[in-house]
Structure 1
């Protein structure tokens, strides 16, 4: 863990989870969010899960109509 990262608890964690949920639901990928926030994929995924975020299937666009590579 670097000096810029610390364990998140309480209101800070809830606020970040809400912000991540909004970004994910508007089209950002988990990997994009992890890169933007300089956190691991697993940490971002866990916060999204804690925020009851409906997760897209792998490779799906936000509107769930077609795989991202098509």
Structure 2
């Protein structure tokens, strides 16, 4: 029957899941979150953090939100200097 969900296979015994599929917990998650906060507040993009860590955009976003980070708006800085804003 089409449309049925495929069953997920367990990894072979004795192997560890990759960092992208492994769950983070406790001190490891806290330390990872602190590193993400430090890098994000130093103007690194969420997508760049996701690519560098092998995690998804959604995971990085959620970690930052859980840490209480004020997320930047999309599209980067759109500020104009005073001379440009008065012209038009």
Pair in the same fold by TM > 0.5:
yes
Matched residue count: 62
TM-score (normalised: structure 2): 0.65
Structure 1 ranges of 4+ moved more than 4 A: none
User: Residue in 2 aligned with 1:30?
Assistant: 46
Q: Work out the CA distance in 2 between the residues paired with 1:30 and 1:50.
A: 14
Q: Tell me, which stretches of 5 or more residues in structure 1 are unaligned?
A: none
Equivalent in 5, 15, 18 of residue 4 of structure 1: 18
User: Residue in 2 aligned with 1:13?
Assistant: 29
RMSD: 1.7
1:40 aligns with 2:44: no
TM-score (normalised: structure 1): 0.81
**Comparing both chains, which one has the higher relative contact order based on Cα–Cα distances under 8 Å and sequence gaps of 6 or more?**
1
Q: CA deviation at 1:3?
A: 2.7
Larger Rg computed on CA atoms: 2
Q: Tell me, which stretches of 5 or more residues in structure 2 are unaligned?
A: 1-15, 80-88
Instruction: Give the match's secondary structure for 1:56.
Output: coil
